[in-house]
Amino acid sequence: MVESNMRRAALPRGGRQRERTRNAILAAGQQLFATRALESVTIDEIVEVADVAKGSFYNHFNGKEGLAQAVLEMVRGDCEFRVFAANRDVSHPPLRLVRAMCVVIRYAMEHPERLQSLLGLSERHTAYNSTFNVGINADLNQGLEDGSFSGMDIEAGVLVVIGLITIAVRHVMAPETETAPATIAVSLGAALLRSLGVSAADAAATAATAAEAILHSEPAR
C-alpha cells in the first residue's frame, strides 16, 4: 500500500488523473460483470457507472472485451496472491488444494462483488491447460507424482478442482445458505480430495485442518 501510494505521488498530475480514470472504469466493469454477462453490458453503461467520458474509455481499453480481460486479471491476480501467501510454506498437495479452496471462500466473503465478476468472466477460461490454471496443474502433477492423488488424469483433475471450488463459493455466497462457510469447506474439501483418490479419513482430516487454519475467524456474512 505504501509503495502504491509512493508510486501515485511520483506520477505527474496528468498521470494521476489517467490512473484515476482507469481505476474508475475497472471498478465499473467489475460492478457490472458481477451480475451480468459480458455480452449484455454496453460501453455506454460502463462509462455511465464510471462517470467518465466515452472517449476516455477508449484511451484505456479497445473495447469491453479488453476491459473484461483487465478486470479478470486484476481480480484473479489478487485472489491468486492470497492463495500463494497461504500456501507458501505448505508442500503437501492435498492440503494445498483444500487450503486454496478455503482462501477463495474467504475471499468471496470479504469481496463478494469481485468474486462474482471473477466467476462470470472465468467461464471463458475453462481449458485445463489455461495459464489461469497453472497453480492447480502444478499441485495435481506433484500429487500424482508422489502418490497423494490417483485415478484421474490432469485434465479431469483440473476440471474437478475448478468445479468444486466454484460450487463451494456459489453456495457460500447464496443468501439462502445457512450452513457455516467452514462447514461447507470441510464437506466439499473432503469431497474434492476423495475424487482425487485420497482416503476418506485422510480427506476429512486434511479438509478440517485447512478450514481451521483459513476460516477459523470468519468475516461477517
The predicted-structure confidence for 171-215, as pLDDT tens digits, reads as follows: 999 999 999 999 999 999 999 999 999 999 999 999 999 999 999
Contact 180, 202 (CB under 8 A): no
Q: How many structural domains are present in the chain?
A: 2
Could you tell me the pTM of the whole model?
A: 0.84
| 93, 192: one domain | yes
Q: Which residue ranges of the chain lie beneath pLDDT 70?
A: 1-14, 124-131, 217-221
pLDDT value at residue 41? 94
Is the same domain home to 86 and 192?
yes
> Which residue segment(s) compose the domain that 187 sits in?
72-216
Q: State residue 221's pLDDT score.
A: 46
Instruction: Please indicate, yes or no, whether residues 46 and 125 belong to a single structural domain of this protein.
Output: no
175 located within any domain: yes
| pLDDT recorded at residue 6 | 46
d(CA 159, CA 115): 19
Q: What's the CA gap between 221 and 217, in Å, rounded?
A: 12
Q: What pLDDT was estimated at residue 57?
A: 94
